[in-house]
Amino acid sequence: MAISKTAVIHPTAIISPQAEIADNARLGAFTIVEADVVVSRGCNIASNVLLASGARLGSECKVAHGAVIGTPPQDLKFRGEVSEVTVGDRTVIREYCTLNRGTEHGHKLTRVGSDCFLMAYCHIAHDCSLGDNVILANCVQLAGHVEIGGCVSIGGMTAVHQFCKIGQHAFLGGMLRVTQDVPPFILTAGEPPAYYGPNRIGLRRRGFTDLQVNSIKQAYHFIYRARLSRAAAVEKIKSELDITAEIQIILDFLEKSNRGLIGLGIGEGSADS
């Protein structure tokens, strides 16, 4: 472990000599960096941040005032095992977010991908895994072992139950209570949370063609609107649709889902027209 001579560290910050602070990192007033922490090149850490043992920040991350990264899991099964929380490159973590380390029941790792945006007061519990380009609005709360695919957006004050999976490119509205798996590429809203059609706006912004979006819509017609069992819906998809990359992602998600899928929204017919 080493502290780079080009790092800019406020004189009131407390930095363990067993931490690794890379070139051009900046650490603000009253920030604490414990032993066994890695702060990579070009990170900007604001005031009153705690980087606890096991925190690993990729390059050019921005961490706002009062955030806490790498503290022990809030899990009664935790027995003090050495574990980590990793944050990918260029991720932004805003004020008072909390990210806990992993446990031996989840590969001893909590992972946040690159180019993510965690808004103020978000909580990422032990053993969660977030892909790249994930956006969590203010006060999103993730329980332990939640898995979120890349390019997912979640609205403010939404809570996600432990062990839930959220597929890539999904959009979840605010103030939801998510207790089942959310498939990829879809829009989720309502109480209880439900399927309201493909995430058309998000998909188009990310370069998906109308042909791709319509194929996704047809797959979810079999899953949600045709009133089929999951097994029957899978067989329909395999027999009647081209197995494009997007369709394969949906099939893989269905195979791995073990909490059941969110339901069908009352307004789904108009939202998916």
Residue 215 has what pLDDT?
98
**Annotated catalytic residue within 102, 144, 150, 173:** 144
pTM of this prediction? 0.95
DSSP helix/strand/coil, 109: strand
User: pLDDT (tens digit, 9 = 90+) per residue, 116-141?
Assistant: 999 999 999 999 999 999 999 999 99
Domains of the chain: 8-145 (2.160.10.10), 203-271 (1.20.1180.10)
Q: Is residue 169 among the annotated active site residues?
A: no
Q: Is residue 126 among the annotated active site residues?
A: yes
- Residue 27 tokens read as 């650490």
Q: Residue 94: which of 54, 121, 113, 124 has the closest Cα?
A: 121
Residue 141 is which amino acid? Q
**Annotated catalytic residue within 54, 58, 126, 202:** 126
User: pLDDT (tens digit, 9 = 90+) per residue, 193-227?
Assistant: 999 999 999 999 999 999 999 999 999 999 999 98
Q: Is 226 exposed, middle or buried (0-12, 13-18, 19+ CB in 10 A)?
A: exposed
DSSP helix/strand/coil, 240: helix
Helices 210-220, 245-256: inter-axial angle, 10-degree rounding:
30
Rg (C-alpha) for the chain, rounded Å, is 20
- Residue 240 tokens read as 């009647």
**Annotated catalytic residue within 75, 127, 181, 272:** 127
